[in-house]
Structure 1
Amino acid sequence: MAEYRGMAYLRRKLTLKRRRVLTRYTYYEMKNEVRDFNLLIPPEFKYFRETLGWCGKAVDSLADRLVFRTFRNDNFDLNTIYRMNNPDILFPSAMLSALIAACSFLYIDRGADGFPRIQVIDGGNATGILDETTGLLIEGYAVLQRDDNDNPVREVYLRAGETWYYDKGQRPRMEPNPAPAPLLVPILYRPDAKRPFGHSRITRACMQIMQGALRTLKRSEVSAEFYSFPQKYVLGLSNDAEQMDKWKATISSMLDLRMDPETGEKPSVGQFQQQSMSPYTEQLRTFAALFAGETGLTLDDLGFVTDNPSSAEAIKASHENLRLAARRAQSTFGSGFLNAGYLAACLRDNFAYQRSQLYLTRPVWEPVFEPDAAMLSAIGDGVGKINGAVPGYFGPENLRDLTGMDAETTGGTANAADA
């Protein structure tokens, strides 16, 4: 039997990690505060709030390109399990949460009809001890419900073969299950040996660059006041001259300034040099370039229009780092979805299958970049030449993976020649 740390240990672990998760959700939702230096900013601008959606763009630009299609060689009918659990929301929600918080979790229980029910839990409400060999948990803990004060109302502690429910004000209850691992499966983004629960898409560098960009926006708003109404001055007024209303003098198109009868001198009016906004624009562009380099985006993605790419191939080339990140995410997310489907199949059939029995089943994804007409034409030429040299090398399945398009069917069947 495995050595378990216990629910109290996992609860403390979640408390330590939850703050970091909530910080990244704050940046994603554009609710983060600006840490200003407060050196020259007037008090009137102290509570001025700026927002930038760059962190949300960094997450969404990758999440929107990750489209899970199906399980191939599905010997345990995992596709049916996911189809019964609203996959159009389940998969995107799990991947989006994992990109923000470094990991999300799929919690599995038995529904009212006895069929497995799968729920997404964000990384700020679940944790566990990871078996790095299989990607499953040794034991897990999750908060299923919180009250208005963010205190847990319903908690669950999971081990192999049993799930313990802790409802506030009630006695704990245990439900047995045949699964050989806890019914809580991590969905990880970029895990490694040092951080097995992954890394967030919103890195520390992203947050620091965002702070610099927001401070630049704040300074530009302060300077805009002086840019709109440049400071003026009057020299040579007599000490006995009537004081002018500053606001009226600023917006008036005609000023009446008379000669001093004693000295015979007349006042001179001048204006200080107008504040320029270009330094702030250039500084903000610099921060945008740094953020784009950190996340694999382009300046066009962040709102700074440059030369528009002329084809899908040019867009793909400009997002090469993003494509590599998407391919890496597909491999780790696919493993997590396969693990969750495996445990759900054990729960459905009330039998403890071996994880090795799913070695033939593999997740299949839609292409990261959809091909345009020119790219489809190039693919067609290449497929014709390759199949001419190696007959049958390309068929409906790998062409579907390459183009993201289904073959036209006749009478419910499609043949490879038509593909």
Structure 2
Amino acid sequence: MLSIGNVIDLPAPEQELLDELVNVLNAHNSKNRKKIRYYEGHVTVREVNLDIALPKGLSRLEVGCAWGQKCVDVLAARSMFDGFVGQNGEPNDLINQIVENNSLVYEYQKATRDELKFGSSFATLAMDQNKNVSIRFHSPMEASGLWDGENGRLKAGLAIMDSVPDESQKDTWRPSMVNLYTDTATWVLERPAKTTRWFATGYSHKMGRPLMVAMTWDATSNKPFGRSRLKKPIRSLIDGYIRTIADAAIALEFDTTPQKYLLGVSDDQYDAITSDKFKQYVGAILTSTSNPETGENPEFGQLPQGNIEPHIQMLRSLATQFSAATGLTVSDTGVVNDANPTSSDAILAQSQTLITLAEQLNSGNATALKKIALMAQAMQLNTTLENLDENYASVIAHYKNPAMPSVASTADAAIKISSARPNFAGTDIFLEMLGFDQADIRRIKAQEERIKGSNVLAEEFTADDEKDANTAQNLATGAGNDEG
């Protein structure tokens, strides 16, 4: 829980915003921690036990479940940000340099997982010591925002800037630097070591909006900061998986040691048998004399073994429901049933819902990334958003195909397109569709330029040799005429 209180040198209006933002951050802390536990698979059997079939003494049994992580990561993996494209498809050197300096392609991957896990993630911008734009992403565990419905953007934002030094200190660690973002300034709040007082320093800017952008998933009018992929119905299915696996594990233990019985034994025989049940179970021969009190011979029997198949059927049912609720294929759950696809076309058909969700994710994030790019360029050029040149203002985010088609299919499509548009074969997009990455494309173009240069030189040398030969021939012809 974050606690700041009154900050020295912070104006009253900003103090009110700060208090509200801290309250928002703390109010969602417990819910966000629960989502992390479901994502990491740290939900215990005790939390999901219905106290019917599972004995309380076995509630400490731990069952790992990766469905929460799958729910987030499989969709995030299909959102492949690939940089920005400038006006008319031309490269924009300024934004490309900003992307490279901030490792934005890689950082976007982490931000997208947080966005799907919690419903949103936040990007903040600042100028570093070298006068370069610095872009950082924050999860809702360390950032919060207030929504401005009138303008459709953040009204103000807060982000904890210094992260916990080590995971083992996460419950006792206290931050010492927090940024407050408003329309006119970024306020850096610092708490010196071994003190409880916070001090504010304001840095004004020209953006007319906070230097903070929210990336949201599945946002609505009532929930502008989005909704988590790990919402309650999904968590309930994960609970069901954990219960079913626990029940199946216990049932398997009983199936491994089936219950046996002996009727008509004496007290001494009973004591001998129960004194070491495991020895009696693994023994090859079980012997007993007649009961001296009744004269009856002991009667041996074994109860029928339980059946684990109902648990397997329950798992298949849960996997099918989880697949329908998340858009993942049944194969992604790790459970095999009749719904598993058997051909490439069937796999693509089952993935269609996930592809649609990835396109929705890309569309929303592309808007947020453009806002980030525009502010970053304006800050780097020391200007306002309104005064950005068209070459800078027209940048758009580029994503790779979320369908993730095979190289063979994209190469075939590229060749067919190039037959209809001959100039297409000379573009970088053509090479990308053939399966080459940017590093390979640069090498290919560099070697093509070298070969082209070598050919030009060879043609020039050939032309010079032919010219020299013609000159020599003309001289020889002239000399012959003179002699004649």
**Which TM-score bucket, shorter chain as reference?**
0.7 to 0.9
- In the TM superposition, residue 131 of structure 1 has moved relative to its aligned partner by 4.2
Give the 5 Å matches for 1:32-51: 32-33=43-44, 34-51=47-64
Q: Determine the structure 1 residue equivalent to 2:182.
A: 159
Q: Determine the structure 1 residue equivalent to 2:23.
A: 12
1:365 alignment partner, one of 385, 388, 399: 399
Residues 122 and 105 of structure 1: CA distance in aligned 2, closer, same or farther (over 3 Å)? same
Give the residue type in structure 2 aligned to 1:243: D
Q: Determine the structure 2 residue equivalent to 1:417.
A: none
Residues 52 and 144 of structure 1: CA distance in aligned 2, closer, same or farther (over 3 Å)? same
Q: Determine the structure 2 residue equivalent to 1:329.
A: 361
The answer to whether the aligner puts 1:340 opposite 2:368 as a matched pair is no
Q: Does the 8 A contact of 2:266 with 2:293 survive in 1? A: no
Give the residue type in structure 2 aligned to 1:375: S
C-alpha distance in structure 2 between counterparts of 1:79 and 1:131, whole Å: 30
1:184 alignment partner, one of 212, 223, 231: 212
Q: Determine the structure 1 residue equivalent to 2:290.
A: 259
Residues 223 and 170 of structure 1: CA distance in aligned 2, closer, same or farther (over 3 Å)? same
1:290 alignment partner, one of 305, 321, 325: 321
Residues 404 and 354 of structure 1: CA distance in aligned 2, closer, same or farther (over 3 Å)? farther
C-alpha distance in structure 2 between counterparts of 1:400 and 1:142, whole Å: 41
Q: CA RMSD in A?
A: 2.9
Give the residue type in structure 1 aligned to 2:316: R
Instruction: Give the secondary structure class of the aligned counterpart of 2:156.
Output: strand
C-alpha distance in structure 2 between counterparts of 1:250 and 1:130, whole Å: 67
Q: Does the 8 A contact of 2:414 with 2:430 survive in 1? A: no
Give the residue type in structure 2 aligned to 1:411: E
C-alpha distance in structure 1 between counterparts of 2:387 and 2:331, whole Å: 45
Gaps of 5+ in 1: 415-419
Gaps of 5+ in 2: 1-12, 192-196, 453-484
Q: Determine the structure 2 residue equivalent to 1:56.
A: 69
Residues 370 and 400 of structure 1: CA distance in aligned 2, closer, same or farther (over 3 Å)? farther
Map Cα deviations across residues 121-159 of structure 1 (whole Å, 9 max, x no partner): 102221222345776422111222366425443221111
C-alpha distance in structure 2 between counterparts of 1:403 and 1:363, whole Å: 22
Map Cα deviations across residues 149-205 of structure 1 (whole Å, 9 max, x no partner): 254432211112311121123421112223322111111112222211112122221
Q: Does the 8 A contact of 1:115 with 1:348 survive in 2? A: yes
C-alpha distance in structure 2 between counterparts of 1:373 and 1:173, whole Å: 53
C-alpha distance in structure 1 between counterparts of 2:19 and 2:395, whole Å: 37
C-alpha distance in structure 2 between counterparts of 1:375 and 1:79, whole Å: 30
Q: Does the 8 A contact of 1:128 with 1:138 survive in 2? A: yes
Give the residue type in structure 1 aligned to 2:188: Y
Bigger CA radius of gyration? 2
C-alpha distance in structure 2 between counterparts of 1:394 and 1:190, whole Å: 39
Q: Does the 8 A contact of 2:79 with 2:358 survive in 1? A: yes
C-alpha distance in structure 1 between counterparts of 2:248 and 2:149, whole Å: 49
Q: Does the 8 A contact of 1:367 with 1:401 survive in 2? A: no
The answer to which structure has the higher helix fraction is 2
* Structure with bigger RCO (C-alpha 8 Å, 6+ apart): 1
Q: Does the 8 A contact of 1:135 with 1:336 survive in 2? A: no
Instruction: Give the secondary structure class of the aligned counterpart of 2:28.
Output: helix
Q: Does the 8 A contact of 1:365 with 1:401 survive in 2? A: no
Q: Does the 8 A contact of 1:81 with 1:116 survive in 2? A: yes
Counting matched residue pairs gives 408
Give the residue type in structure 1 aligned to 2:413: I
C-alpha distance in structure 1 between counterparts of 2:247 and 2:163, whole Å: 40
Q: Determine the structure 1 residue equivalent to 2:481.
A: none
- In the TM superposition, residue 107 of structure 1 has moved relative to its aligned partner by 1.5
Give the residue type in structure 2 aligned to 1:217: I
Residues 322 and 208 of structure 1: CA distance in aligned 2, closer, same or farther (over 3 Å)? same
TM-score by length of 2: 0.76
Q: Determine the structure 2 residue equivalent to 1:243.
A: 271
Instruction: Give the secondary structure class of the aligned counterpart of 1:32.
Output: coil
Q: Determine the structure 2 residue equivalent to 1:21.
A: 32
Identity score, percent: 23
Residues 36 and 321 of structure 1: CA distance in aligned 2, closer, same or farther (over 3 Å)? same
C-alpha distance in structure 2 between counterparts of 1:143 and 1:133, whole Å: 27
Residues 194 and 262 of structure 1: CA distance in aligned 2, closer, same or farther (over 3 Å)? closer
C-alpha distance in structure 2 between counterparts of 1:102 and 1:182, whole Å: 20
Give the residue type in structure 1 aligned to 2:213: V
Instruction: Give the secondary structure class of the aligned counterpart of 2:333.
Output: coil
